[in-house]
Chain A
Amino acid sequence: MPPDSPSAAAPAPDIAPSTPPGLIELFLAFAKMALAGFGGVLFWARRGIVEQHRWMTADEFNETYALCHFLPGPNIINLSFVFGSRFRGIAGGVAAFAGLVGPPAVIATILAALYMRFGEIDVLRRILAGVACAAVGMLMATVFRMMAPLVKRRDRVGLVLLAAVFVAIGLLRLPLAAVLLVAIPLSIAITFAMRRRVKA
């Protein structure tokens, strides 16, 4: 199982979707992706939607994913709602959303109950501490992967903005909303100004 890679070319032929899925089909497909998708649902979402069911071409999938990636919130969850609603309106969105979030949330609730009950047992504490270390490493690898294109392009402005957010949130521990209400308009203004300068 390779990790999620949004741009990996899918071998599926670019043909139009066969038949639009029904509500139950949407629910089941997304539930299956969510439960198979260990460590990243995206890989399984692409395989299910593009390759197995052929509900979307690879390009359509990339476009939809790009949209959900720049909007706030959990990307893949946004994608489920947008995707489902394309075929069956709001009800389709709800069916896909419920499939993606429902079963894993039930599992998470059971795990939470077990943790509250047994979380202080020594053996479990030690195991969780080890898993936590590895989980942090995985998160850092994702950060490096995302940062690599910025470093390669020598995108100084981007790297300064990145560092500023890191200091404000990670070191100064400022509230997220306050930081972003300053950082988002600033970053958009700078990006806009730089694109105009490049054009001129």
Chain B
Amino acid sequence: MNSDSNPIWTLAWTFGLMSLFAVGGGNAAIPEMQRVAVDVHHWMTDRQFADMFAISQMSPGPNVLIVTLIGYSVAGVVGALTATLAMCCPTAIFAYFVSRLLSRSSHSRWPAIIQAALVPLSIGLMSASGLILALTSDRTVTAALITVATAWLAFATRLNPFWMLLAGGCLGFAGLV
């Protein structure tokens, strides 16, 4: 057995590094999570990945907890814990140090420049997330219509997202997807 075969280390290393590159939050890292979990390590199929995304959207709390589901599927409870801490801790500690640094020298214009520079990149990452998840989820015309209708409702109205997910689930239950 080589050192790469311990799944706990792989989870810790993979998500720890990924969290530092998740510019724009958890959903921006979806393509990378899918690439690593499906293409690189073959932990799951792309359909299972889409399922886990759906579950993480339905369950309460930060959406980034899709990593908890991925971790569990790889190595049980220890895997879930490892993936969660690896994805959440490094950036939280980083944010702590940056906030202390900034509170001392608050007149620099660099934070504004960096922020402006990162916005288009994080939107690009999230668009890629949308594409990748749509390719696995929207395999029928009805499925694609549900996605388009939800996108429009969520964009144009202030309807609680819960009802949209519920409607999607009901249509799926009825066998229309």
Q: How far is the CA of A74 from the CA of B158 in the complex (A)?
A: 23
Given contact pairs A130-B172, A137-B149, A176-B32, A101 touches B72 in the complex (Cβ within 8 A):
no
Q: How far is the CA of A108 from the CA of B54 in the complex (A)?
A: 12
User: What residues of chain B lie closer than 8 Å to A142, measured between beta carbons?
Assistant: 27, 126, 154
Assess the B22–A137 pair: CB atoms within 8 A.
no
B64 to chain A, nearest CB (A): 4
Given contact pairs A132-B51, A139-B130, A71 touches B95 in the complex (Cβ within 8 A):
yes
List A128-156 residues whose CB lies under 8 Å from chain B. 128-147, 150, 155
Assess the B123–A81 pair: CB atoms within 8 A.
no
User: What residues of chain B lie closer than 8 Å to A183, measured between beta carbons?
Assistant: 121
Assess the A115–B155 pair: CB atoms within 8 A.
no
Interface assignment of A165: CB less than 8 Å from any CB of chain B: yes
Interface assignment of B8: CB less than 8 Å from any CB of chain A: no
Residue of A nearest to B131 (CB): A170
Q: How many residues of B contact A (CB 8 A)?
A: 106
List A52-105 residues whose CB lies under 8 Å from chain B. 64, 66-82, 85, 90, 93, 97, 100-101, 103-105
Assess the A77–B23 pair: CB atoms within 8 A.
no
Chain B CB count within 10 A is highest, among A101, A127, A134, A140, for A134
User: What residues of chain A lie closer than 8 Å to B162, measured between beta carbons?
Assistant: 1, 38-39
Residue of B nearest to A114 (CB): B55
Interface assignment of A35: CB less than 8 Å from any CB of chain B: yes
Given contact pairs A81-B92, A97-B92, A134-B146, A184 touches B68 in the complex (Cβ within 8 A):
no
Assess the B62–A73 pair: CB atoms within 8 A.
no
Given contact pairs A109-B77, A119-B51, A147-B123, A134 touches B91 in the complex (Cβ within 8 A):
no
Assess the B68–A67 pair: CB atoms within 8 A.
no
List B142-177 residues whose CB lies under 8 Å from chain A. 143-144, 146-155, 158, 160-162, 164-165, 167-173, 175-177
Assess the A177–B93 pair: CB atoms within 8 A.
no
Given contact pairs A104-B62, A133-B146, A73 touches B19 in the complex (Cβ within 8 A):
yes
Assess the A101–B62 pair: CB atoms within 8 A.
yes
Assess the A135–B54 pair: CB atoms within 8 A.
yes
Interface assignment of B133: CB less than 8 Å from any CB of chain A: yes
Interface assignment of A197: CB less than 8 Å from any CB of chain B: no
User: What residues of chain B lie closer than 8 Å to A130, measured between beta carbons?
Assistant: 143, 146, 168-173, 176-177
Q: How far is the CA of A68 from the CA of B64 in the complex (A)?
A: 15
Assess the B177–A129 pair: CB atoms within 8 A.
yes
Assess the B80–A112 pair: CB atoms within 8 A.
yes
Assess the B132–A170 pair: CB atoms within 8 A.
yes
B86 to chain A, nearest CB (A): 11
List B24-74 residues whose CB lies under 8 Å from chain A. 25-27, 29, 31-32, 35, 39, 48, 50-65, 68-69, 72-73
Residue of B nearest to A74 (CB): B64
Assess the B26–A70 pair: CB atoms within 8 A.
no
Residue of B nearest to A71 (CB): B95
Binary A-proximity of B104-125 (CB < 8 A = 1, otherwise 0)? 0000000101111111111111
Which residues of A are interface residues toward B (Cβ below 8 A)? Answer: 1-3, 34-41, 64, 66-82, 85, 90, 93, 97, 100-101, 103-105, 107-109, 111-113, 115-116, 119, 123, 126-147, 150, 155, 157-159, 161-166, 169-171, 173, 175-177, 180, 183-184, 187-188, 190-192, 195
10 A-B contact pairs sorted by A residue (CB < 8 Å): A34-B62, A64-B99, A79-B95, A81-B95, A101-B62, A127-B172, A133-B177, A137-B164, A143-B123, A170-B128
Closest 9 CB pairs of A and B: A130-B172, A104-B61, A73-B91, A137-B150, A165-B124, A134-B168, A170-B128, A141-B154, A112-B72
